[in-house]
């Protein structure tokens, strides 16, 4: 339960991205927002972990960095600029179903009827929230939000498939290091796109802009992604994906509480349905993994003789 709660901090913090973007960041600078969110956070975590990729993990980190960070951030901020607060995150409601389908094809996780039902309930919940939105929906913004959802779903499943790399000493690399690699790879790739398509800002950033970027980079990215990838390394991909549904709930509640956006009865029902879907989806995944039982100390690989240390 502690692991689930810690992992859920990530989508909760991601849900604040949309309000932060619209209230504090300069207009029409999605690539700049992505770079200043990802690259400083990655360099900070890299300085803390003091580990670099080895061998194949150079290109694996770039692939995961593009899926989870580079492409996702670019599409995310396009959606955030072109859609009202909460609506962009709501499109992410299809992610648990998408992850479940991909995990059944790529991983050993089964696509069961209860999980599909829970995912469908999540989609229904976010649909109820969307239907009550009074704001105009932008086609390009919706396409960007959908593209970001697909990118993040693919990155989630692929990160789970590849697992945690080993250091030269033969020990698993910490999630702090792998998170740093992805953020640096994604942020560096976004920097190239920034120079080609947007260019550097002509006007200096205001204090409000700096505070917004600082919050997104340190809290909404460095800390949030560390929580996410740490949880993903220990939870089933399908179960972790359901936690992502907390993001639209937080976004729509903040839009109502802070930005004065309307929220009707059906939206409240939708939020309740989403929360039930999250609880069901996470519970199903956790139960299938044995309820979180830990391997006894004397049966852990590091405590076995060398001849028994290898996994079959």
The predicted-structure confidence for 164-222, as pLDDT tens digits, reads as follows 898 887 788 989 999 999 999 999 999 998 999 888 888 888 999 999 999 999 999 99
Structure tokens at 185: 């790879």
CA–chain centroid gap for 3, Å, is: 16
Cα angle 106, 13, 93 (rounded to 5 degrees) comes to: 45
Q: Name the band, by pLDDT with cuts 50, 70 and 90, for residue 151.
A: very high
Check whether 223 has a pLDDT greater than 50. Answer: yes
Please give the residue range of the domain that contains residue 177: 2-289
The reply to whether 312 falls in a domain is no
The reply to whether 310 falls in a domain is no
Q: How far apart are CA 179 and CA 301, in angstroms?
A: 25
The reply to whether 299 falls in a domain is no
Cα angle 75, 76, 81 (rounded to 5 degrees) comes to: 100
Mean local confidence (pLDDT), 37-51: 93
The reply to whether 209 falls in a domain is yes
Check whether 294 has a pLDDT greater than 80. Answer: no
Q: What is the pLDDT of residue 67?
A: 94
Q: Would you list the DSSP string of 142-190? A: HHHHHHHHHHHHHHHHHHHHH---B-TTSPBPPHHHHHHHHHHHHHHHH
Sign of CA dihedral 296, 280, 225, 143: positive
The reply to whether 84 falls in a domain is yes
CA–chain centroid gap for 185, Å, is: 16
The reply to whether 22 falls in a domain is yes
Total number of domains in the chain: 1
Q: Which of 111, 34, 44, 96 is nearest to 68 (CA)?
A: 34
Q: Point out the least confidently predicted range of 111-115, 130-134, 261-265, 280-284.
A: 130-134
Task: For helices 224-232 and 175-193, give the axis angle rounded to 10 degrees.
Answer: 120
The reply to whether 170 falls in a domain is yes
The overall average pLDDT reported for the chain is 81
Top-confidence residue, 242 or 83: 242
Residues listed for the chain: 312
Top-confidence residue, 300 or 124: 124
Rounded to a whole number, what is the largest CA-CA distance in the chain? 65
Residue with tokens 């079959």: 312
- Could you give the percent of the chain with pLDDT greater than 90? 28
Q: What is the pLDDT of residue 289?
A: 46
Q: How far apart are CA 226 and CA 100, in angstroms?
A: 22
Check whether 249 has a pLDDT greater than 60. Answer: yes
The reply to whether 311 falls in a domain is no
pTM of the predicted structure, to 2 decimals: 0.79
Looking at the chain, which runs of residues are DSSP E strands? none
Q: What is the pLDDT of residue 9?
A: 92
Structure tokens at 222: 């460095």
Give the Cβ contact number of residue 49 at 10 Å: 18
Four-CA torsion 42, 87, 30, 156, nearest 10 degrees: 30
């Amino acid at each position: 339960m502690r692991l689930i709660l810690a992992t859920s901090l990530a989508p909760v913090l991601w849900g604040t991205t949309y309000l932060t973007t619209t209230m504090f960041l300069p207009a029409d600078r999605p690539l700049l927002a992505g770079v200043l969110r990802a690259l400083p956070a990655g360099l900070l975590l890299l300085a803390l972990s003091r580990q670099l990729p080895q061998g194949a993990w150079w290109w694996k980190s770039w692939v995961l960095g593009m899926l989870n960070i580079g492409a996702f951030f670019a599409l995310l901020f396009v959606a955030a600029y072109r859609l009202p607060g909460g609506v962009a995150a709501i499109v992410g409601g299809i992610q648990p179903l998408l992850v479940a389908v991909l995990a059944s094809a790529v991983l050993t996780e089964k696509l069961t009827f209860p999980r599909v039902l829970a995912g469908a309930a999540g989609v229904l919940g976010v649909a109820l929230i969307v239907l009550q939105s009074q704001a105009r929906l932008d086609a390009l913004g919706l396409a960007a939000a959908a593209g970001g959802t697909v990118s993040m779903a693919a990155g989630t499943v692929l990160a789970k498939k590849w697992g945690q790399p080993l250091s030269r000493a033969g020990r698993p690399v910490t999630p702090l290091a792998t998170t740093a690699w992805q953020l640096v790879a994604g942020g560096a790739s976004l920097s190239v796109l920034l120079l080609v398509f947007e260019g550097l800002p002509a006007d200096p950033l205001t204090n409000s802009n700096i505070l917004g970027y600082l919050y997104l980079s340190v809290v909404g990215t460095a800390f949030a992604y560390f929580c996410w990838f740490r949880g993903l390394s220990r939870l089933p991909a399908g179960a972790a994906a359901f936690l992502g549904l907390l993001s639209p709930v937080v976004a729509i509640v903040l839009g109502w509480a802070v930005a004065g956006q309307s929220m009707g009865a059906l939206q409240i029902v939708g939020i309740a349905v989403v929360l039930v879907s999250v609880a069901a989806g996470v519970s199903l995944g956790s139960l299938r993994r044995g309820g979180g039982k830990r391997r006894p100390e004397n049966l852990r690989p590091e405590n076995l003789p060398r001849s028994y240390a290898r996994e079959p």
